[in-house]
Structures are given as structure tokens and as C-alpha cells.
A and B are shown apart, each in its own frame.
Chain A
């Protein structure tokens, strides 16, 4: 079983839609949960990170963690064509040696 699983998509939505991206993980030891955005042929860019369960909001983006279900989500409100990218979740045990990326979900927002 992989440490973190992510649906690769692709996901295609119309401009203005609410997007939901999700990952599941296997080990309850993981404490930090990150979302990265990766545009084509570019390096990943950290969008948000959360610690423990709950929600964190930053503009149109909301990260949600449910540790009881080992489930993390990223919501994008009022999606824009510029949001078209691959979104990678990542998890970290904060021990310095357990850090894993999901495979990424490819998102296209159609104008």
C-alpha cells in the first residue's frame, strides 16, 4: 500500500466551478499535510500546508484535513483558467525522513 494515494484525474471543469481535490494516506503518524501546484514543465510550488485536523483558508483555496479518516482535501472556489495545473498532495511525519508526494491530479479549467 502506498503511503499516500491521489486520483490522477484528469479533471476538467468550467470556469467558476468549485473544485475538490483529494488524497488518502495510510499512516496516522503523518502530521503535516501540504498541497503543491505544478504548472507544466515547472517545479512544484507550495500552496498551503496544514497541521493536524481542520480547515485552513487562503483566498480561493481551502485545505481540509480529517485525520480520523486519513483524508485530505483541497477546495478551489471560483476556479480560473490560470488554476489549470497538476496539484500534488504531500504528507510529512515531521521526523525529517518520512515525506511523500501523491502522484498529482491534473486539473483543466475551461474558460
Chain B
């Protein structure tokens, strides 16, 4: 089945220790998104790639970076995680910029100790 896969599902890291979350998709969609979702809050868009074109949201901290080496994979790098970065990180894809048809992965829950 075509899908969006995120690894790992649960990640524990130490304060200040870099961490990388990964996302892969078999949908062959052009656009990939990273969201941060904290408990009882709406998902917050961090950035997205339209093909290789990177689009950063204005209020995304510099601590968050992303890489998309090919169509199928996208990575979220948190350079120096703080306690406030503990959250669920959601990857999503859409065929094009019609983002009303986003397909989400199961998410990676990040804990910062």
C-alpha cells in the first residue's frame, strides 16, 4: 500500500543532543511537509518542500532544519533540542500544492530529557 512512513515512532534525546527524524513516502508526491504538534494543540507547519524547493515558515526556529535528498525521503534535523521541542512531529505529503489533500504519516513522538 502506498503510504507515508516515519521512523522512529518514538525518539528520546538529551537536551542539546542533535537528533534526526526521517520520513519516506511511496506516493510519489511532489510536496512533503513537516509539522510539530504539541499536546491538545493544532499541528504547526514548520516547513515544506515543493520538489527540491525548500519553503520555511517565518516563525520556524533556526534550530530546525530539513533535507530532502530525493523525492521519497525527507529528514527533520533538530540541531540542539530543548525541553520545549518535545512534541509529536508529523510528516505529510501532497501530490501538488493542493494541500487540502495531505496524507500524514503516523508521527514521531520526541522526548527531550
- CB within 8 Å of B: which residues of A? 8, 32, 34, 36, 41-46, 49, 88, 90, 92, 94, 96-97, 99-104
Contacts and interface: CB of A to CB of B under 8 A. Distances in A.
A100 B101 contact: no
Contacts of B55: 97
B101 A42 contact: no
A34 B100 contact: yes
B92 interface: yes
A36 B102 CA distance: 10
B43 interface: yes
B100 A43 contact: no
B94 to A, nearest CB: 10
Q: Which 7 A/B pairs are nearest by Cβ-Cβ distance?
A: A43-B104, A101-B42, A96-B97, A32-B100, A49-B100, A103-B42, A44-B104
Contacts of B102: 44, 46
Nearest to B50: A96
Interface stretch (B11-19, B62-70, B75-83, B105-113): B105-113
Contact of A46 (B45, B103, B109): B103
B42 A102 contact: yes
A41 B40 contact: no
The residue in B45, B103, B104, B106 that gathers the most chain A C-beta atoms within 10 A of its C-beta is B104
Nearest to B35: A101
Contact of B99 (A45, A88, A92, A103): A92
Given A41-B106, A42-B106, A104-B42, 7 more contacts: A8-B40, A43-B92, A43-B106, A43-B107, A46-B102, A88-B42, A100-B42
A92 B82 CA distance: 31
A43 B6 CA distance: 10
A51 to B, nearest CB: 8
A43 B93 CA distance: 12
B90 A43 contact: yes
